[in-house]
Amino acid sequence: MSATATSASQQTIEQLAVNSIRTLSMDGVQQAKSGHPGSPMGMAPNAYVLWQRVMNYNPADPIWPNRDRFVLSAGHASMLIYSLLHLTGVKNVVDEVKVTDEPAVSLDEIKRFRQLGSKTPGHPEYRFTGGVETTTGPLGQGVANSVGMAMAEKWLAARYNKPGYELFDYNVYAFAGDGCMQEGISAEAGSMAGHLKLSNLCWIYDSNHITIEGDTNLSMSEDVGARFQAYGWNVLHVDDGNDLAALEQAYQTFLKTTDKPTMIIVRSHIAWGAPNKQDTHGAHGEPLGDEEIALTKKVYGWPTEPKFYVPDGVYEHFQQGIGARGAKAEAAWSALFAKYKTEYPELATEIELMQQRQLPAGWDATLPSYAADPKGKATRDVSGEALNAIAKNVPWLIGGAADLAPSTKTLIKGADGFQAGNYGGRNFHFGIREHAMAAAVNGMTLSRVRAYGSTFLVFSDYCRNTIRLSAIMEIPTIFVFTHDSIGVGEDGPTHQPVEHVASLRAIPGLIVLRPGDANETVAAWKATMEQTKEPVALVLSRQAMPTLDRTKYASADGVAKGAYVLADAANGKPQVILIGTGTELCLAVEAYEKLTAEGIAARVVSMPSWELFEHYCHKHPEYREQVFPSSVKARVSVEAGTTFGWERYVGMDGTAIGMHSFGASGPLKDVLAHFGFTTANVVEAAKKVAKC
């Protein structure tokens, strides 16, 4: 926009639409007295061109499977997407799968920006606001999610598209700022996308050279475009972020590019009311103020009153553009899918099940079971066998590892690797990029495939921010973490997780499962696949552990309840309760046998998942007392990690055997004995708390 004021009545409908996005953003932030008006104002022309002229998207059905995806990675600019959702008439979505007649963002919700319970929170939130494809805010997460979304589209197209039936051909667009480019996750994700030649992926880099502390030259001097060219991207430049024709030309170039992802670097400018005003505060957390808004609206030729003003014709303009185009595209797709269902009924059923987050009948029919074995198997090995059994029956179970699939046992046997030129592969090679892997897997899960990513437990810290976001979004992403304790042995404390399980358990909405033998591992996978709203962290061992005799001890089906009585006192009235999890469950069982032989009444509780236990007890309050009788104060937990949190279950009179330091390098048996993970130590602790 020119800094010369043009009255609203003299502006073209396109200028009115762009300035409606800007002024709604300004007014929303000002009314909330909180937020970031500068970025949405600067990106408004770009967003307008993308939504109105380019995107294949139906506002009346924002979960249409073949829609283009829009990700606002610069989540602080949330008023941009809220203004777009409002002006384009996007409908609301309930529980991911149901579109309602209500608007996703009404004008009243714009006025309630950043207020408790509004549909317009400070950063865009998936599930909370229809049309928001992923929760963003932590910078770089959105662009990394978008890579996963683009990977999912390539996989869906490779599996389901047939001659004459191009069901999946959508594109993924992500708006990012200087902060996203500085975060390391964007480098990981960008490198991965370039290697995979994801031609359906377009990042729009709003290069306004501003961060919270001031000009980006304070901390950043590289040529971002050259960096992404080195990654194998097609890099385009638009020098004037207000030039609608140049912006559209850049998008058309992206649409014609078939062998690489595209980055469009846009130099945005904002017409402020005050001369020479810089976007240092408005872009990063401060409203403009009433006086500055009045001056800026004057530049736009906009009335200062009423606030939240949308000129006549703007709503209709968007309906005639993206609305009509999207409705026509979806209608054609639906007609095509109806024919597809007749010709490829089994594949069509897969697509329908995926979209509803449902599993096919008999998906668990071939899960393995294991006979008693004193030597047993490592739970990572059993996990790989269970994964492959499920993969035979759930074709859309796909994933991989951060360069560790042979160690994490996450390769799907007989399947190809997902690579440029072979997008139908089910084994994803994420490279040594744990953070981008986790975020990409979230993006894949948001695309409705069942996706998993894996690495060693000690490296879960690299994934933590993304795991947290999966829990916030309530999506069933699967994280497979192996090498779960000081049992790693010779690798030493840098590779021996101590605090990691406790830190994962601290994330609300994340299910942590640490199975204690082969059959518990299979049951853990079953429980994982049945989740529709909660992500799961499967925590698995490198070392073997005994496979328990289930004719002697309770069935591993108890895993679904999170904790269950594995072995009990003869009269059902224990003097002491031993709680075991993971590789240490066998120590609790061995201690139980010794205590029983000495005439001490003991109970073993296997507790692979605190979260599943609490969920089950919430529905069945009596179960807690059945497993942990309040009359039995003598309790011992044993886990080769920090004891943090175990006081919830052992109580003030019990004791937790665990780690109080980092590990040490040495042979497995020596390290475990050194830190007290022996049957004798468990027996001694039990006798002490039971005062025997």
Angstrom distance (rounded) from CA 390 to CA 404: 20
Q: In which band, very low, low, confident or very high, does the pLDDT at 281 lie, cut at 50, 70 and 90?
A: very low
78: containing domain:
35-270+320-328
* Span 455-468, pLDDT tens digits: 999 999 999 999 99
Asked if residue 575 and residue 501 are part of one domain, the reply reads no
Counting every residue written for the chain, the total comes to 692
Phi and psi at residue 519, to the nearest 5°: -70, -30
Q: In which band, very low, low, confident or very high, does the pLDDT at 278 lie, cut at 50, 70 and 90?
A: very low
Task: Indicate the burial class of 371 (C-beta count within 10 angstroms; 0-12, 13-18, 19 or more).
Answer: exposed
Is there a contact between 427 and 412 (Cβ–Cβ < 8 Å)? yes
Q: In which band, very low, low, confident or very high, does the pLDDT at 5 lie, cut at 50, 70 and 90?
A: low
pLDDT recorded at residue 270: 55
**Tokens 């309840």 -> residue:** 561
pLDDT recorded at residue 293: 93
- Cβ count near 342 (within 10 Å): 8
pLDDT above 90 for 422: yes
Q: What is the CA radius of gyration of the chain?
A: 28
pLDDT recorded at residue 635: 98
Is there a contact between 484 and 568 (Cβ–Cβ < 8 Å)? no
pLDDT above 50 for 3: no
What amino acid positions are annotated as catalytic residues? Answer: 434
Q: Is the dihedral of CA 69, 103, 283, 238 positive or negative?
A: positive
Angstrom distance (rounded) from CA 352 to CA 90: 23
- Cβ count near 145 (within 10 Å): 35
User: Which whole-number Å values give the CA distances from 5 to 2, 178, 204, 309, 390, in the listed order?
Assistant: 7, 30, 28, 17, 63
pLDDT above 70 for 210: no
Asked if residue 603 and residue 531 are part of one domain, the reply reads no
Q: Is the dihedral of CA 433, 435, 441, 444 positive or negative?
A: negative
Q: How many domains does the chain have?
A: 3
Asked if residue 608 and residue 521 are part of one domain, the reply reads no
Last residue of a domain, one of 519, 545, 571: 545
pLDDT recorded at residue 275: 43
Phi and psi at residue 319, to the nearest 5°: -65, -35
352, part of any domain: no
In the DSSP assignment, the letter for residue 689 is H
Asked if residue 531 and residue 562 are part of one domain, the reply reads no
pLDDT recorded at residue 219: 76
Angstrom distance (rounded) from CA 311 to CA 309: 6
Q: In which band, very low, low, confident or very high, does the pLDDT at 4 lie, cut at 50, 70 and 90?
A: very low
Roughly how many angstroms between the first and final C-alpha of the chain, as a whole number? Answer: 83
Cis peptide before 303 (omega within 30 of 0): no
Helix boundaries (H) for 447-584: 460-473, 500-505, 518-529
What's the CATH number where 684 sits? 3.40.50.920
Is there a contact between 628 and 580 (Cβ–Cβ < 8 Å)? no
* Span 286-345, pLDDT tens digits: 788 999 999 999 999 999 999 999 999 999 999 999 999 999 999 999 999 999 999 999
Asked if residue 493 and residue 568 are part of one domain, the reply reads no
Asked if residue 498 and residue 416 are part of one domain, the reply reads yes
Asked if residue 40 and residue 104 are part of one domain, the reply reads yes
Asked if residue 257 and residue 169 are part of one domain, the reply reads yes
Q: In which band, very low, low, confident or very high, does the pLDDT at 274 lie, cut at 50, 70 and 90?
A: very low
Residue type, 632: V
**Section 128-136 average pLDDT:** 97
Q: Is the dihedral of CA 435, 436, 441, 442 positive or negative?
A: positive
Is there a contact between 454 and 400 (Cβ–Cβ < 8 Å)? yes
- Alpha carbon 436 to chain centroid distance? 11
Cβ partners under 8 Å of residue 221, min gap 6: none
**Section 58-83 average pLDDT:** 97
- Rounded to 5 degrees, what angle do the CA atoms 382, 584, 467 make? 65
275, part of any domain: no
Q: Edge-to-edge strand order for the sheet containing 655-659?
A: 564-567, 602-606, 576-580, 635-642, 655-659
Last residue of a domain, one of 495, 520, 545: 545
74, part of any domain: yes
* Span 172-200, pLDDT tens digits: 999 999 999 999 999 999 999 999 999 99
Asked if residue 520 and residue 380 are part of one domain, the reply reads yes
Is there a contact between 554 and 580 (Cβ–Cβ < 8 Å)? no
Asked if residue 671 and residue 639 are part of one domain, the reply reads yes
What's the CATH number where 139 sits? 3.40.50.970
Asked if residue 572 and residue 499 are part of one domain, the reply reads no
- Cβ count near 12 (within 10 Å): 11
pLDDT recorded at residue 212: 64
Beta bridge partners of 566: none
H/E stretch holding 642 reads: strand 635-642
Angstrom distance (rounded) from CA 692 to CA 684: 10
Helix boundaries (H) for 421-492: 434-446, 460-473
**Section 408-426 average pLDDT:** 97
pLDDT recorded at residue 283: 45
Angstrom distance (rounded) from CA 78 to CA 80: 5
285, part of any domain: no
pLDDT recorded at residue 285: 56
pLDDT above 90 for 570: yes
361, part of any domain: no
* Span 362-380, pLDDT tens digits: 999 999 999 999 999 999 9
283, part of any domain: no
Angstrom distance (rounded) from CA 229 to CA 5: 39
Q: What is the mean pLDDT of the chain?
A: 94
pLDDT recorded at residue 269: 65
In the DSSP assignment, the letter for residue 81 is H
448, part of any domain: yes
* Span 10-54, pLDDT tens digits: 789 999 999 999 999 999 999 999 998 889 999 999 999 999 999
Asked if residue 606 and residue 532 are part of one domain, the reply reads no
Q: In which band, very low, low, confident or very high, does the pLDDT at 1 lie, cut at 50, 70 and 90?
A: very low
- Alpha carbon 265 to chain centroid distance? 26
What share of the chain has pLDDT > 90, as a percent? 92
pLDDT recorded at residue 268: 81
pLDDT above 70 for 567: yes
pLDDT recorded at residue 8: 74
Angstrom distance (rounded) from CA 300 to CA 574: 78
Q: Which of 96-105, 202-211, 315-324 has the lowest mean pLDDT?
A: 202-211
Residue type, 465: N
* Span 574-629, pLDDT tens digits: 999 999 999 999 999 999 999 999 999 999 999 999 999 999 999 999 999 999 99
Last residue of a domain, one of 260, 294, 328: 328
313, part of any domain: no
List the structure tokens of 503: 């830190």
Is there a contact between 576 and 635 (Cβ–Cβ < 8 Å)? yes
